[in-house]
């Protein structure tokens, strides 16, 4: 008989092996292929980290230049994909837009062989910002944008498409940091979804579409959106403390705090908090950042709950004038690297992932005649 794993949601159970990242088991709490995420966020651009995760090594100067040039060349969208995006209503969930966009891309540009997996991944990495911004600008502003910018980075490309102008150096830097922090996180729900799909030898687009579907759920993705909804409702730090205490007294769930793996702190939080503060000074904010800090203080004082990576991302994105509904799609633009690398890792040493279940239903019984049924 199969061994029954205890614990809701298989939390704490080892479900496989990976060489891509450590979560909560090293000095920093998070590493990508042996590099501390704090070191990567301080010294690298996102494209360097994407190369590291997908190819196994940090690129040298020539490799990085060539990698960026390759990604730049793949930002355009097929007309058939644009036609689909134009038919998605403005009130659609942006994660559904990305899910549909990824799936449609897989119909138009199929992965015929696993030998194409790196090219297929780079194509998605290059054009996901184009997909979400093309839909957003058409459905909300009524304009058909040119998605092939000459921006040097994926983060700058996204902001350029969204705002119709090149971002400042500070905004581009913060996007690099944000995308690095979200790039990979071991066997979380969406990554495990991608690996399960990969274990059936399915194509890369199907694996990534499935991962997007898992991230779509509010218990996995969307915490930064919920954090934004929370902090923008407060008018001052004092107001924030009063309302937070009320929520705690009513035992309401407050998103953006605590983590399934980390026990004392999320190593990503201090990094994005630092950049949120810098942005607040840059844009002249006097409310949102102080409110966020007070919320952090209250939750730690009252519940010993720390901010996870999502909480200060909310104010950081808001300072860069990113609509709240696009927060989680940015996560997709980043985590695509981790998802795809896990798919590649699964394919390289594959056995189909097929766990057993503990049956809790009726004992064996006979089928009654129709006239004997209640």
Residues designated catalytic: 220, 259, 310
Type and span of the H or E element at 129: helix 117-141
Question: How is the beta sheet containing 35-36 ordered, strand by strand?
Answer: 21-23, 30-32, 35-36
Query: CA-CA distance, 127 to 236, in Å (whole number)?
Result: 39
CA 205 → CA 20, 122, 197, 343, distances in Å? 20, 12, 10, 11
Query: CA-CA distance, 107 to 94, in Å (whole number)?
Result: 20
- The single residue listed with the structure tokens 């102080």 is 290
CA 50 → CA 20, 36, 204, distances in Å? 12, 15, 17
Q: What is the dihedral of CA 167, 170, 172, 177, to 10 degrees?
A: -160
Backbone angles phi, psi at 35, to 5 degrees: -100, 130
CB contact at 8 A, 121 and 115: no
For residue 367, count CB atoms less than 10 angstroms from its CB and return exposed for 0-12, middle for 13-18, buried for 19 or more: exposed
Type and span of the H or E element at 358: none
**What's the start-to-end Cα distance of the chain, in Å?**
35
The angle, 0 to 180 degrees and rounded to 10, between the axes of the packed helices 267-283 and 311-319 is: 30
Q: What is the dihedral of CA 316, 318, 323, 329, to 10 degrees?
A: 10
């Amino acid at each position: 008989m199969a061994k029954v794993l205890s614990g809701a949601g298989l939390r704490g159970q080892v479900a496989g092996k990976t060489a891509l990242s450590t979560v909560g088991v090293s000095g920093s709490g998070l590493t990508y292929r042996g590099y501390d995420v704090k070191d990567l966020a301080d010294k690298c651009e996102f494209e360097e980290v994407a190369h590291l995760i997908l190819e196994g090594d940090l690129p040298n100067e020539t490799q990085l230049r060539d990698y960026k040039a390759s990604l730049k060349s793949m930002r355009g969208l097929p007309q058939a994909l644009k036609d689909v995006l134009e038919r998605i209503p403005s009130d659609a969930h942006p994660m559904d837009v990305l899910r549909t966009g990824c799936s449609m891309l897989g119909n138009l540009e199929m992965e015929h062989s696993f030998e194409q997996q790196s090219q297929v991944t780079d194509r998605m990495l290059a054009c996901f910002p184009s997909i979400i911004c093309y839909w957003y600008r058409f459905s909300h502003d009524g304009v058909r944008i040119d998605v092939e910018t000459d921006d040097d980075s994926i983060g700058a490309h996204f902001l350029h498409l969204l705002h119709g102008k090149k971002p400042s150096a500070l905004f581009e830097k913060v996007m690099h940091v944000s995308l690095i922090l979200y790039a990979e996180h071991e066997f979380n729900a969406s990554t495990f979804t991608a690996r399960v799909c990969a274990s059936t030898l399915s194509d890369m687009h199907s694996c990534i579409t499935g991962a997007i579907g898992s991230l779509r759920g509010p218990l996995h993705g969307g915490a930064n959106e919920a954090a934004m909804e929370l902090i923008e409702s407060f008018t001052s730090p004092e107001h924030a403390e009063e309302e937070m205490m009320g929520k705690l007294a009513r035992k309401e769930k407050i998103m953006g705090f605590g983590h399934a793996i980390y026990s004392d702190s999320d190593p990503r939080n201090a990094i994005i908090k630092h950049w949120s503060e810098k942005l607040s000074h840059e844009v002249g904010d006097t409310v949102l950042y102080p409110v966020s800090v007070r919320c952090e203080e209250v939750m730690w004082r009252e519940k010993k709950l720390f901010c996870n990576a999502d909480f200060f991302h909310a104010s950081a994105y808001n300072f860069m004038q990113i609509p709240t509904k696009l927060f989680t799609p940015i996560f997709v633009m980043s985590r695509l690297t981790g998802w795809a690398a896990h798919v590649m890792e699964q394919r390289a040493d594959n056995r189909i992932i097929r766990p057993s279940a503990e049956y809790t239903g009726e004992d064996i019984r006979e089928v009654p005649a129709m006239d004997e049924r209640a």
